Amino acid sequence: MIVVTGATGQLGRLVVDGLRAKGANVVAGARDKNADLGVEVRELDYDRPETIGPALAGADQVLLISGNEPGKRVPQHTAVVDAAKLAGVRHLVYTSAPLADTTPLVLAPEHKATEEAIRASGLPFTFLRNGWYHENYLDTIRQGADTGEIVGAAGGGRVASAARQDFADAAVAVLTGTGHENAVYELTGDTAWTFPELAAEIGDVAGRPVAYRDLPAAEFRQFLIDQGTPAEVAGFVAALEQNIADGTLAHTPGDLRTLIGRPTTPIADTIKAVLAA
C-alpha cells in the first residue's frame, strides 16, 4: 500500500489519480480527512506528529510531498521520516529540489536537510529533485498576453521547467516500478528556455508582440511590492530570479524524460492551454 502525503495539493491529486489509474493500492494523507480524492483519506498533518503514525500504518511505500510553508519544512518532513521508520515502510520517496545538496538555490537548504534526515534514517529512499513547474508562470503568461510585456530579473538565465503532470507521472513511475531504491533523480524539462524566449512564445500564441523587461533584482523586488506582493515574498522571488540568472535551473540531464518514457511537455502547450481558458 502506498501513502501519498499532501494529497489534496495540486501535485498530490495528480499522483493519486495516476496511481489509481495504474490499479495501485493508494491511501491519501491529508489535513482534511473529508477531502474527496476517490480513495481512502487519512488525516495527516505535518504539524501534528500524532496524526502521522496512524496515517502510515500498513504502508509499504510513502510519497512525502514537500510542504508549502518555507521555514517550517524541516521539522514537518522529519516528523514524517521518523513515523515512516517506526511504521516499517520499505521505500520513502521525497519531492526535493534541483541539485539540493550543492546548489545555491535559496529554497534548497530545507530540502538538503530533509534528504540528510532521510539518509540518516536508513530507510530505502528515492529523491525526486523536481525542477520548476511550467505552472509557476501562469500569471506571467496571462500578463504577457494582456500587456505585451513580462518583467523579471533573470537576465538570460535558463529555466528547464516541465508540466506538473510530468512530475506527477515520474512519481507514479517510481512508486509502481522497481529498482529506484536509493536513486536521486534530477527531474527537469527537456528544454531550458530564457525569459526573452518565453516572451516570444507567449507572443506567438497570443498573436501580439510580447517583450521581456529585465530589471536589477532590487528594482524587481520593488516592482512586485508595487503590484501587491508582500515584501517578504517579493524578496524571496527576486532572490530566485537571481538564482535563475546564475544558471541554477538550466540543467537538462534527461532524468524526467527517461522516467516517464516520453518527452516532457513543452511550455508552449501550457501557454496555449492558459490563453485558451
Ligand X SMILES: NC(=O)c1ccc[n+]([C@@H]2O[C@H](COP(=O)([O-])OP(=O)(O)OC[C@H]3O[C@@H](n4cnc5c(N)ncnc54)[C@H](OP(=O)(O)O)[C@@H]3O)[C@@H](O)[C@H]2O)c1
- Complex with ligand X: residue 10 or 194, whichever CB lies closer: 10
Backbone angles phi, psi at 151, to 5 degrees: -125, 140
Nearer to ligand X, 193 or 203 (CB): 193
Query: Between 174 and 203, whose beta carbon lies closer to ligand X?
Result: 174
User: Which residue has 540543467 as its cell numbers?
Assistant: 251
Q: Which of 130, 264 has the CB closer to ligand X?
A: 130
Q: Binding residue for ligand X (CB under 6 A) from 3, 4, 42, 45?
A: 45
User: Does the footprint of ligand X cover residue 195 (CB under 6 A)?
Assistant: no
The answer to whether 54 contacts ligand X (rule: CB under 6 A) is no
Q: In angstroms, what is the C-alpha Rg of the chain?
A: 19
Residue 233 binds ligand X, judged by CB under 6 A: no
Binding mask 2-41 for ligand X (x = CB under 6 A): ----x-xxxxx------------------xx---------
Among 19, 28, 42, 46, binds ligand X (CB under 6 A): 46
Give the CA distances from residue 194 to residues 146, 267, 269, in Å, rounded to whole numbers and listed in that order: 20, 12, 16
Least distance to ligand X from the beta carbon of 148, Å? Answer: 26
Instruction: Give me the helices (H) in 22-130, please.
Output: 49-56, 73-87, 108-121
**CB of residue 65 to ligand X, shortest distance in Å:** 5
163 three-class SS: coil
Q: Which residues of 115-151 are buried (b: 16+ CB within 10 A; e: fewer)?
A: bebbeebebbbbbbbbbbbbbebeebbbbbbeeeebb
Q: How far is the CB of 74 from ligand X (least distance, A)?
A: 12
Single out the residue of 143, 158, 162, 236 nearest to residue 195, CA to CA. 158
CB distance 114 to 94 below 8 Å: yes
Applying CB under 6 A, the residues found at the interface with ligand X are: 6, 8-12, 31-32, 44-47, 65-69, 76, 95, 130, 132-133, 136
